[in-house]
Chains A and B, each alone.
Chain A
């Protein structure tokens, strides 16, 4: 018989959302809390990735442009003093394109509006013009007039800190003489993008400034007519740098050469390079953590969704939907989540990138900022996020495809329950019926339970990672400052002075105890490796400057040997007992071989440590002091500092507490914000795992639970079955999460180690407590919500239909 068309075929030209898409979108809405959390995770991961890459890009481009336009030097050499004619010898070295000589001196500055001691670095520039190298960017005002002796350009960070403008004046103590200086302009130099005050770990813009004045003026003040004490040079592209370094070293040797530093070791450049390297490494780890968690959660959600939708999938297959179409509709769900996260993430990332770049521009002094947002960043971000998202769901989608339609028609065959391990151990008499159900449920669905445990575990790990830097810095500051520098004030002298200075300082009212130190510039070499560094010299009996070994234990300085910071030892590939060549740069003597007795722990900076006794005869003025540290009676620090400011030879005063406070002040807010967001995300992740677990259990097992109710169990008892299951997951997840957190922290910290400072691996009990509490709170909230849902369980409705 011929088919008669009974009715008109529907017109198919009109655009309509396919029903399968509608299903996908409604399924997404059904899982909203989880979807939001996963999208957020992707958002944070993608956002951080965009942020870091764009910030890195911006920093790099800005730095390169700045270096190029302002002729940043390749080599930096310091020496005692040499006649300007020596410069010609350097210029004639093949490969040297340009060289500039200058005078660089320390000085003290006084401002009427500021109490504290201000240290200045005074640098000469050619009269009435820009130097050939390391040119200044004049933000405001102008260079000093030709021949002017009372004008200078001040660094912009210092100007900002004291709101100084061109035309303002201040007192300066230069070479022991006080004179009034007028601000001619405010400037920046590619040499001082990072402006660390020597001896501190954070730039103290209030207490440290850079001042550029006329060459002729400085020659006069410092009695260096026709002489210089620093030299910078630019090389040609093909220059043989190590060879030129040696040649310049040789030329400057007779003039008290202190060694030539290549650009790689120039403080500002080194610092920024390290920072960028860290940023680069971080950009490949931190976003991956978030994307990894997102991927993991996504796989949990999708696997469960597919499991609960076996029937629906079978129907679709029975009606002729192909594996590809069905798989695709799950993929659409993933795409929606991915796009939500990516869209938000890129916006968030661009915003944060701008903010962060500005923060960097503030911290580092760039005259301009080339914010760069290469469109390829979006592509890479999208790709990375997509890989993460789809890696998580591959298995789930594979499960759909491998489901044969007839198999799917049957409900998941009743699973084989066994008496659990606990019961086999004979512990069941301690468990009541609901608890027994919990134990069997958890041990029966081992894969599902494991996934949940790890899901929650990752949330715990996330909280821990969020507090990683805080913990690390706590420990580092504690070791390097509170424990290794238990003094209150450290005074650095203009130049090495006679030991009697210590006794004079000790007489200042309020000073309780003093201890001297000396710092000498050295070059360590071992094999083909060498490092320009310094040796800190302490009295053999020293209590205000204790030395801690790598385990944090106090150790004695060897009488005739040397201790090195661990980072320096590693950089030189030294082992305790090895000998190292030490070239005392100030003396101009041949290097001497010294025994390395061991390594000590310093997180910030790297240098060698020795006693006065062991070096007395090796260094010029063997007993002279570079500075004195002191213990001051409580509350008298300010008055002591006031007296010290007036001392002619004092070049710098640093307060241990001041540094620590400043550090926390600078970082506290960032940490607070980080901690807040990380806890929020971790809590969200934990909640969605825990809550969805229970929610899905509830729908999967509603018949079973309703039957229990009909058999006479109370709501509370039924709730215990589900909530008990949740708690088992939570309790298992806590130790696993802590381990995961430990592992992740270790991984990140290992990848961030630098030669300049090391990051300790430290997980405080507070961190563990916070992570645990975050999860317990989340569990409690989920518990309340689950209980409410169980109360609403409609017995008749549940039993009326088969769960599908």
Chain B
């Protein structure tokens, strides 16, 4: 991967303040970061340090209150809701801590809800196969375990071949064994499809699978650690 190339994300002096009448919460301030094509970044930090806020802004779910953020030639700082929707639709995939599947749709249909609006998707069936759930396509979320649901969520996120994949504590609700299966799936997608992946976790061990680990503290980046070698999830344990 070429570090010299133009970064995918360019973040400068980013800040986010939540205004709630009398009090305002400074969720992010002075955040500077560049993310390159194909990277796998893990974000670590104590609860309330601003990880989710940063991820949401990167993913176009939220807008910053200060600074600037650019994705390729899109300026996300000043994007309208319509442009953000288009950005999410074309470039971004999400995986959340609580799988957030649509309960009234089967696993396959949950994936199709994304492939149907994507430009160049892989088929829902293929996506499910990629996360090892090819045979559970017609099951409803309530018929799947937590880990399986999370893998459906990953299949859903990657099926449209997103350029960037955002995962907010994807293993937070899973035991370590299931968590590793899920991380394997993410790692596979990152390596085989080259999908830039940003992953939030509370688990320091998971940082070992990343190329870079970004530490957040009190709403700002306190440290960026580069890993010389990336350890595959199957070799991790916690």
* 16 residue pairs bridging A and B, Cβ less than 8 Å apart: A8-B123, A10-B121, A18-B112, A19-B105, A20-B116, A26-B105, A27-B104, A318-B61, A319-B156, A320-B117, A322-B82, A322-B89, A404-B81, A405-B88, A406-B61, A804-B98
Q: Which residues 183-229 of B have a CB within 8 angstroms of A? A: 192-194
Say yes or no: A801 contacts B94, CB within 8 Å.
no
**Residue from A22, A30, A315, A322 within 8 A of B109 (CB atoms):** A22
* A795 and B163 alpha carbons, distance in the complex (Å): 41
Q: Which of B114, B126, B194 contacts A7 (CB 8 A)?
A: B126
Complex: chain B residue closest to A325, CB-CB = B117
Please tell me if the beta carbons of A9 and B90 are within 8 angstroms of each other in the complex: no
| A23/B105 contact (C-beta < 8 A), A7-B123, A319-B113, A320-B117 known | yes
Contacts of B81 in A (CB 8 A): 323, 404
A312 contacts which chain B residues (CB < 8 A)? 100, 102-103
The listed residue with most A CB atoms (<10 A of its CB), out of B98, B102, B109, B113, is B102
Contact A1 B61 (CB under 8 A): no
Q: Is the Cβ of A409 less than 8 Å from the Cβ of B122?
A: no
**A801 contacts across to B, CB distance below 8 A:** 98, 146, 149
Contacting residue for A409 out of B38, B61, B82, B192, CB 8 A: B61
Provided the pairs A7-B122, A406-B62 are in contact, do residues A319 and B94 lie with their beta carbons within 8 angstroms? yes
Q: Is the CB of B193 within 8 A of A3?
A: yes
The answer to the question of A436 belonging to the interface, with a C-beta cut-off of 8 Å to chain B, is: no
Give, as a whole number of angstroms, the nearest-CB distance from B218 to chain A: 20
A315 with B102: in contact, given A20-B113, A320-B90, A404-B62 (CB under 8 Å)? yes
Contact B112 A409 (CB under 8 A): no
- Report yes or no: A19 in contact with B110, Cβ–Cβ below 8 A: yes
**Centre residue among B1, B59, B88 by max chain A CB count within 10 A:** B88
**Is the CB of B56 closer than 8 A to any CB of chain A?**
yes
Cβ contact within 8 Å between A6 and B100: no
List B contacts of A311 (CB < 8 A).
98, 100
Chain B nearest CB from A553 CB (Å) reads 63
Nearest first, the 3 closest Cβ-Cβ pairs linking A and B are A320-B89, A10-B123, A406-B62
CA distance A19 to B193 in the complex (A): 25
Q: What is the bound-complex CA distance between A312 and B156, given in angstroms?
A: 14
Name A315's contact: one of B100, B112, B116, B149 (CB within 8 Å).
Answer: B100
Known contacts: A9-B120, A311-B100, A801-B98. The answer to whether A320 contacts B92 by CB under 8 A is yes
Q: Which of A8, A9, A409, A804 contacts B56 (CB 8 A)?
A: A409
Supply 14 further A-B pairs (C-beta < 8 A) apart from A322-B85, A804-B98.
A1-B37, A6-B192, A10-B123, A19-B113, A23-B109, A26-B104, A312-B103, A318-B92, A319-B88, A319-B156, A323-B85, A404-B62, A404-B81, A405-B88
- How far, in whole Å, are A800 and B174 apart by their CA atoms in the complex? 11
CA gap between A285 and B113 in the complex, in Å: 43
Complex: A10 Cα to B114 Cα, angstroms: 13
Complex CA distance for A311 and B94, rounded to whole angstroms: 13
Q: Tell me the residues in window 224-280 of chain A with beta carbons closer than 8 Å to chain B beta carbons.
A: none
B161 in the interface (beta carbon within 8 A): yes
| Complex interface bits, A399-411 against B, C-beta within 8 A gives 1, otherwise 0 | 0000011100100
* Interface check A316, CB cutoff 8 A: yes
Which residues from B are CB-within-8-Å of A318?
Answer: 59, 61, 88, 92, 94
User: Whole-angstrom distance between the alpha carbons of A27 and B81 in the complex?
Assistant: 27
**A801–B1 CA distance with the chains assembled, in angstroms:** 39
Tell me the smallest distance from the CB of A186 to a CB of chain B, in Å.
65
Looking at B59, B94, B121, the one whose CB has the most chain A CB atoms below 10 A away is B94
Residue of B nearest to A313 (CB): B102
Which A residues are in CB contact (< 8 Å) with B161? Answer: 3
- Give, as a whole number of angstroms, the nearest-CB distance from B171 to chain A: 15
Q: Is A647 an interface residue (CB 8 A)?
A: no
Complex CA–CA separation, A20 to B112 (angstroms): 9
A10-B62 in contact given A1-B194, A27-B104 (Cβ < 8 Å) = no
B77 within 8 Å of A by Cβ?
no
A208-225 toward B: CB 8 Å interface, digit per residue (1/0)?
000000000000000000
A318 CA to B109 CA, complexed, in Å: 17
Q: CB of A802 within 8 A of chain B?
A: yes
Q: Which residues of B contact A320 (CB under 8 A)?
A: 85-90, 92, 117
Name the residue of chain B whose CB is nearest to the CB of A1.
Answer: B194
A contact residues around B156 at 8 Å (CB)? 319
Are B38 and A1 neighbours in the complex by a CB distance under 8 Å? Answer: yes
With A405-B61, A800-B146 in contact, is A22–B89 under 8 Å at CB?
A: no
A312 to B113, CA, bound (A): 11
Q: Is A317 an interface residue (CB 8 A)?
A: yes
Distance between A217 CB and nearest chain B CB, rounded to angstroms: 82
A321 at the binding interface (Cβ < 8 Å) = yes
Distance of A406 Cα from B112 Cα, bound (Å): 22
- B152: chain A residues at CB < 8 Å are none
Chain B neighbourhood of A20, CB < 8 A: 113, 116
Report chain A residues within 8 Å CB of B96: 315, 409
The interface residues of chain A lying within 8 Å CB-to-CB of B193 are 3-4, 6
For chain B, residues 149 to 171, give those with C-beta under 8 angstroms from any C-beta of chain A.
Answer: 149, 156, 160-161
The residues of A that contact B194 with a CB separation of less than 8 Å are: 1, 3-4
Q: Give chain A residues whose Cβ lies under 8 Å from the Cβ of B122.
A: 6-10
Q: Would you give the shortest CB distance from B99 to chain A, in whole angstroms?
A: 8
Measured between beta carbons, the chain B residues less than 8 angstroms from A405 are 61-62, 88
Q: B115: CB under 8 A from chain A?
A: yes
- A26 to B102 alpha-carbon distance, docked (Å): 11
The distance in angstroms between the C-alpha atoms of A409 and B117, with both chains bound, is 21
Q: In the complex, are the beta carbons of B100 and A804 less than 8 A apart?
A: yes
Q: Residue on A with the closest CB to B103?
A: A804
Q: Restricting to A298-319, which residues have a CB under 8 Å from any CB of B?
A: 311-312, 314-319
A4 to B122, CA, bound (A): 12
CB-CB contacts below 8 Å: A361-410 with B = 404-406, 409
A10 contact set on B, CB distance < 8 A: 115, 121-124
Chain B residues 52-82 with CB under 8 Å of chain A are 56, 59, 61-62, 81-82
Please, which residues of chain B bring their CB within 8 A of the CB of A1?
1, 37-38, 194
Contacts of A18 in B (CB 8 A): 112, 116
Q: Count chain B CB atoms within 10 A of each CB in A27, A320, A409, A801 and give the residue with the most.
A: A320
**B82 cross-chain contacts in A, Cβ below 8 A:** 322
Known A315-B100, A800-B146; contact A22-B105, beta-carbon cutoff 8 A: yes
Residue of A nearest to B113 (CB): A19
| CB-defined contacts of A30 to chain B, threshold 8 Å | 104
Q: Scoring A residues 24 to 46 as 1 if CB is less than 8 Å from chain B, else 0, what string do you get?
A: 00110010000000000000000
Contacts of A797 in B (CB 8 A): 142
